[in-house]
Structure 1
Amino acid sequence: MKNNIKEYILIIIGSLSIAFSVNCLAIPNLLGEGGVPGLIAMGTYLFDIPSYLTNFFLNGLLIIFSYRYFNKTLIFRTVFVVILSTIFLHLTAHLPLRLPYPILAAVLAGAFMGGGLVSFI
C-alpha cells in the first residue's frame, strides 16, 4: 500500500512538471518538443487550440488504440496521468514565463520535462 501511495505521488508531481514545462516554458518561448507535447505546442502555435484540449484528445486516442495490447493496471495509470496532465495544463495555461535567453528556456523546459518523465518510471 505504501508503494502505491508513493507511486501516485510521483505521478502527480511528474504530471505537474510536464505541464509546467509545456505551458510555462516551451510554448511562451516558442520552443518545440517531441511527441505529444510537440503536437500540443503545434496546435497552440498554428490553430490557437488550448494545450489541455489537444493533450486530452491526442492521449485519449492513444489510449483507445492501445487498450487491447496492455494490461488494465497500466491503462488505468495512463488514464490517471492523462486526466491529471489535462487538469495541470489547464491550471498552468495562464502562467507563461518568457525568458530573455532562449537557451535558458530550452534547458529549463528540458529539465522539467525530463524530471516529469523520470517520475513515471
Structure 2
Amino acid sequence: MKQIVKNGLEIIFGAMLYAIAINYFLIPNRIGEGGVTGLTTIGYYTLRITPALTNLVLNGIILIIGFRYLPQRTIFYTFWAILWISIFLKLPVLWPYQTNQTLIATLAGGVLMGVSMGLIFRANGTIAGSTILAKIVNRYLGIRNGSAMLFFDLIVAIPSGLVIGFQNMLLTVIELYVSAVVLNKYLDAFGAKRSVLVFSERNQAIGKALSEQLGKGVTMIQAKGFYSQKNEDVLYYICSSKDWTTVIPIISSVDPHALVVTDQIRSVRGWHVADL
C-alpha cells in the first residue's frame, strides 16, 4: 500500500508538470507535440476543442490496446495519470509564457515533458498514446522508452506542420527530441537496472553478503578459465541504480581484489524465483 501511494503521488506530480508544459509553454507559442498530445494541440488550434477532453477520450481508446500487452498494474497507473493530466489541463492558465524567442519555450517545454514522463514511467505508469506503444516496444524489443516514443511522436508531429506552419513544426521536432533525451537520461539515472558480473575466489561469501544486505537473489554461473582450465563460480547480480551504489562497497569489503564488470540494462522481463 505504501508503494502504491508513493507511485500515485509521483504520477500526480508528473501529470502537473506535463500540463504545465502544454498549457504554459507549448500552446501559448503554437508549438505542437507528438502522439495523442499532438492531436490535442491540433484540435485546440483548429477547432478550439479543450485539450482535457481530447486527451481523456483518445487516450481512453488507446488504453484498451494496453490491456492486451501490458501488466494490469501499468494500466491502472496509466489511467490514474490520464485522469490527473486531464484535471490539470482543465485548470485556468494564469500566466502563460509567450515570447518571440520561441526556442526558449521549446526547450523549456521539452525538458518539462521529459521529466514529467520520467516521473510517470518510474512509477510504473504511462501517459497512454505513444508512451503505451513505447512501453510495449521496450518490453518486447528492449528499445529505450524515449527513443521509441520519439519515433511514434514524429508520425504525428511532422504532418502537423500543415496546421501550425513549417517553422513551428521544426520547433515541435526539437521539443520532442529534447523530451526524449531528458526522458532517457532520467530513466538511466533513476529507473534503469544494472547487471554485475563478479570474478572472485570468494564469490560464495560475496553472494551471501549481497543477499543478506540487499534482500535479493544472487545467481551463480559455472565457468571455466580458458588458460588455467580451472572451474569457478561467476556471480551474476541485477540491481537498481539506487542499490548499485552499495553493491560495489559490499563486494570490496569481502574481496578487495575481485574483478567486477558492470553494465546498464535497458529492459528486464519477469522475475527469477530467487528474487521473489
**TM-score, length basis structure 1:** 0.90
Change in 2 beyond 3 A, CA 1:93/1:53: farther
| Structure-2 residue corresponding to 1:73 | 73
Deviations 1:40-92 (A, max 9, x none): 11111111100101100110111123323332211111111111110011015
Question: Residue 96 of structure 1 corresponds to which residue in structure 2?
Answer: 96
Provide the residue aligned with 2:253 in structure 1. Answer: none
SS in 2 for 1:109: helix
- Does the 8 A contact of 1:23 with 1:95 survive in 2? no
Matches within 5 A, 1:31-70: 31-70=31-70
Distance (whole Å) between structure 1 residues aligned to residue 118 and residue 90 of structure 2: 22
2:41 alignment partner AA: A
Q: 1:111 to 1:12 in 2, by over 3 A?
A: same
Report how many aligned residue pairs link the two structures.
Answer: 121
Query: What residue is the counterpart of 1:10 in the other structure?
Result: 10
Highest Rg: 1 or 2?
2
User: SS where residue 32 of structure 1 aligns?
Assistant: coil
Say which structure, 1 or 2, has more relative contact order (CA 8 Å, 6+ apart): 1
Are the structure 2 counterparts of residues 89 and 47 from structure 1 closer, same or farther at C-alpha, using a change threshold of 3 Å? Answer: same
Q: CA deviation digits over 1:9-65, x for unaligned, max 9?
A: 211111011111111110110111111111111111111100101100110111123
Q: Residue 32 of structure 2 contacts residue 41 of structure 2 at CA under 8 Å; is this kept in 1?
A: yes
Residues 85-117 of structure 1: per-residue CA shift (max 9 Å, x gap): 100110155552212310101011101111101
Is 1:117–2:117 an aligned residue pair?
yes
Identical columns (%): 35
Letter in 2 for 1:61: I
AA partner of residue 67 (structure 1): F
TM-score of the pair, normalised by structure 2: 0.41
1:19 aligns with 2:22: no
Name the structure with the higher strand share: 2
